[in-house]
Amino acid sequence: MPVKIHADLPACSTLEQENVFVITENRAQTQDIRPLKVAIVNLMPTKETTETQLLRLLSNTPLQIEISLIRMENHNYKNTDQEYLDKFYLPSSQVFNKKFDGMIITGAPVEQIPFEEVDYWKELCQIMDYAKKNVFSTLYVCWGSFAGLYHHYNIPKYPIDKKLFGIFMNSRTTLNDPLLRGLDDTFPFPQSRHTTLMEDDIIRHPELTILAKSKECGVTLVKSNDNREIFMTGHLEYDTDTLAKEYWRDKDKGLPIDIPKNYFPNNNPSLMPSSYWRSTAHLLYSNWLNYYVYQETPFNFTEK
């Protein structure tokens, strides 16, 4: 089944060219079903790219999904025109008038800044608090996961000496959790971050379960035991060339950046990389939507 989005959203034409099934609002109104309502709190500066990446993954299920894009009201966006934001995004204050089956809170390029110094931190905390009761399951991605763990459980982030950058294999730490159903015992995660978590900090919270970790990356996947919160430190949504673009962007700026690990063939940046995390990404997002959102959410949960 399709993902329901605004007909003019740039991601719509991109996904249609890829034969991804999307549906516009007018057509969706003719279908007599209740779609899952999913909000995406998009904190990434590359709005269009992130929208397309996430919508591609959310569309790969037999469910109809109605998407609401959310922006921070108290933040000056430098990379996205206000006209674009006004057309496609709801201001954060409008979130509090709705309920959602699922929510995704993305990463953001602010991880080296203390949480309280991020200009929209209080605004984001309001959303995270609201989600506890008004969103059935929230998926926190990369910096979003660090923010969620810090806000809800006071689990700090720790700076690392060198940017964790590349594709890293992860091992499941539990056998039967539905989120990992169908995944191999080890699976790849793209990573691009300057901070990490300490396992001992998470273990102190019996209401949390570690689902996956990596020798090089530490803990990478955590959930609350009620399945209402999922914390993922990596970027499974990344396109094949995303890390390459990050690498060359920083090189062109003269910034210190290592070649992303386990990414370019023969570790040669002049060669085209290939994705070997795409199937993991589609399966994990489908599992989240199916087992943690669709199968568990009461039918009238989103009614106000």
151 is catalytic: no
* pLDDT tens digits, one per residue of 257-280: 999 999 999 999 999 999 999 999
74 pLDDT more than 50:
yes
237 is catalytic: yes
Mapped onto helix, strand or coil, the DSSP state of residue 56 is: helix
Distance CA 106, CA 295 (A): 23
* pLDDT tens digits, one per residue of 166-220: 999 999 999 889 999 999 999 999 999 999 999 999 999 999 999 999 999 999 9
Structure tokens at 105: 């809170």
Q: What is the mean pLDDT of the chain?
A: 90
Q: Which of 283, 267, 272 is nearest to 245 (CA)?
A: 272
Q: What is the pLDDT of residue 30?
A: 43
**What are the residues whose beta carbons fall under 8 Å from the beta carbon of 21, sequence distance 6 or more?**
1, 2, 3, 59
Catalytic pick from 142, 152, 217, 229?
Answer: 142
* pLDDT tens digits, one per residue of 21-49: 555 555 444 444 578 999 999 999 999 99
Q: Where are the alpha helices (DSSP H) in the chain?
A: 10-17, 25-28, 47-58, 82-88, 121-134, 143-153, 199-203, 242-252, 278-287
142 is catalytic: yes
Q: What is the pLDDT of residue 294?
A: 84
Other beta carbons within 10 angstroms of residue 205's beta carbon come to 16
